Amino acid sequence: MTTRTTDRPLDTDRATPSARRTRALVILAGAAVLLLLVKGAGVRFYWVPVVLGITYLAAAAAGRSRGPLWAPGWVLTVVGLAEAAWFHAGRPADSFEFAELTLLAAGTGAVLAVAMSVLRVHVSAMSIAMAVLLTGAFNLAEANGVHDISGNVWFYAALLALWGVAELLLASHAKVRA
């Protein structure tokens, strides 16, 4: 990881069409699992970040990603596990301790993402920053009652599904150009 903004990424996510299709299937499966767990099986909504994070990690691994998916995967998974443990214990979200826990978990996820460099995976500062920023934004929206978006499992499943379809389109576009 580099902190200089003028450095070009060592490795961007130049996935092959085959890797993109594989990644798309994992992402679409993640959307289905999210709906099945939360809507079908009645799993509590606070598990959504864990499922999202695991979907990112699985998509990164399945698509042989060398970059941008690992950071949000680690940040979301660790934050999700910390918050799920918090809520499972019956603790309220409107406490300073919850904010500290979320910040600690996001930092831990970022450290795990940076540690991926040992495996020669390029993780940019921007991919980490965006993962932390968006996690905080959605937590803030949820805390302020914007439940139509932040508290709606359909919203997250739709985002995953759109992403999966985009990966399929990119795979087919690359195949046509080749």
Of the candidates 84, 137, 72, 149, the residue with the CA atom closest to the CA atom of residue 109: 72
pLDDT tens series, the chain, 178 aa: 555 444 444 445 567 889 899 999 999 999 999 999 999 999 999 999 999 999 999 999 987 777 788 999 999 999 999 999 999 999 988 888 999 999 999 999 999 999 988 888 888 889 899 999 999 898 888 888 787 777 889 999 999 999 999 999 999 987 555 4
Measure the CA–CA gap between 97 and 90, rounded to whole angstroms: 13
Which residue has tokens 């450095």? 7
| CA dist 141 → 64, 68, 137, 144 (Å) | 33, 25, 6, 5
Q: What is the pTM of this model?
A: 0.86
Give residue 80's identity as a one-letter amino acid code: G
In this structure, the number of other CB atoms found within 10 A of the CB of residue 60 comes to 24
Which residue has tokens 């695991």? 54
Measure the CA–CA gap between 155 and 163, rounded to whole angstroms: 12
Which residue has tokens 């949000």? 72
